[in-house]
A and B are shown apart, each in its own frame.
Chain A
Amino acid sequence: MKSMGQKSVFYGVIVILSLIVPWLLPAYQTQLAFLWVMVVFALTWDVVGGQMGYNSFGNIVFFGIGMYVTAVIQRNMHFDIEEYVHVAGRVETLTPVQYLEGLFLGMGAGVVVAVVIAAGLGACILAMGMRGQYFGICTLGLGVAAGELANGWEYIGAGSGLVTPVFPDQLGQRGAFFYYIFFILAVIAFLTLRYLYAGRFGLAINAIRDDEDKAEAMGIHTTRYKIIAWCISAFFLSLVGGGAGHLIGFIDPTEVAFAGATFGVWMILMAILGGKGTLWGPVIGAVIFHITQELFWTYLFGWQRVALGALIVAIVVFFPMGIMGWMRERWPERFGHRVEEREAFSASKGGG
Chain B
Amino acid sequence: MTKKQSYLFTLIVIIAAISLVFAGPSWAKVEGDTIIFGAAVSFTGKYSTNGKHTKNGYDLVVKRVNEMGGVKVGDKTYKIDIKYYDDESTPARAGQLADRLIKQDEIKFILGPYGSGPTKGIAPITEKYKIPMVEGNGASRSLFNKGYRYIFAVLSTSEQYLAESINLLAEKFKEDGRDPKSAKVAIAVENDPFSMDIRAGVVDDAKRWGMKVVIDDKLPKELTDMTATLTKVKALRPDALIVSGHSKGAALAVRQTAQMKVDVPMLAITHCEAADVVGKFGGDANYTLCATQWAPTMTYKDEWFGFAGDYAEAFEKEYGYVPPYQAAESSAAVLVYVDALQRAGNFDTEKVRDAIAATNLQTFYGWVKFDETGKNIAKPMVLRQIQKGKYVPVAPRKFAAGEVIFPKPKWKDR
A-to-B contact residues, CB < 8 Å:
2-3, 6-7, 10, 13-14, 17, 21, 25-31, 34, 87-93, 148, 151-152, 158-161, 163-164, 166-167, 174-175, 248-250, 252, 254-256, 259, 262, 280, 283-284, 287-288, 291, 294-295, 297-298, 301-302, 304-305, 324, 327, 331, 334-335, 338, 340
Contacts and interface: CB of A to CB of B under 8 A. Distances in A.
B95 A250 contact: yes
Interface stretch (B18-26, B233-241, B320-328, B360-368): B18-26
A29 B142 contact: no
B84 A288 contact: no
Instruction: State the majority secondary structure of interface residues on A.
Output: helix
B86 A160 contact: no
Interface string B149-193: 000000000000000000000000000000000000000001111
A304 B128 CA distance: 28
9 contacts: A17-B14, A30-B99, A34-B96, A159-B218, A249-B123, A250-B95, A250-B123, A280-B10, A301-B43
Contact of A305 (B88, B103, B373): B88
Contact of B13 (A25, A163, A250, A287): A287
A307 to B, nearest CB: 12
B132 interface: no
Nearest to B106: A27
B5 interface: yes
Interface in B1-49: 1-11, 13-14, 17-18, 20-22, 24, 43-44
Given A30-B99, A297-B86, A3 B1 contact: yes
A186 to B, nearest CB: 13
Interface string B103-147: 110100000000001001101110110000000000011100111
Contact of A10 (B7, B100, B106, B123): B7
Given A248-B91, A334-B5, 9 more contacts: A28-B21, A89-B145, A152-B218, A158-B196, A164-B124, A174-B128, A254-B221, A295-B20, A335-B6
A302 B43 contact: yes
B103 A161 contact: no
Contacts of A161: 91, 117, 120, 193
Most buried by B among A3, A28, A302: A28
Contacts of B124: 163-164, 166-167, 249-250
B247 interface: no
Contacts of A254: 221
Contact of B146 (A17, A25, A91): A91
Contacts of B24: 298
A13 B191 CA distance: 48
Contacts of B127: 166
Please provide the 10 A-B residue pairs with the shortest distance between their CB atoms, ordered closest to farther: A249-B124, A159-B191, A3-B1, A291-B17, A27-B103, A90-B147, A250-B120, A255-B90, A27-B104, A160-B193
B86 A301 contact: yes
B92 interface: yes
B197 interface: yes
B2 A262 contact: no
A335 to B, nearest CB: 5
A250 B121 contact: yes
B98 to A, nearest CB: 10
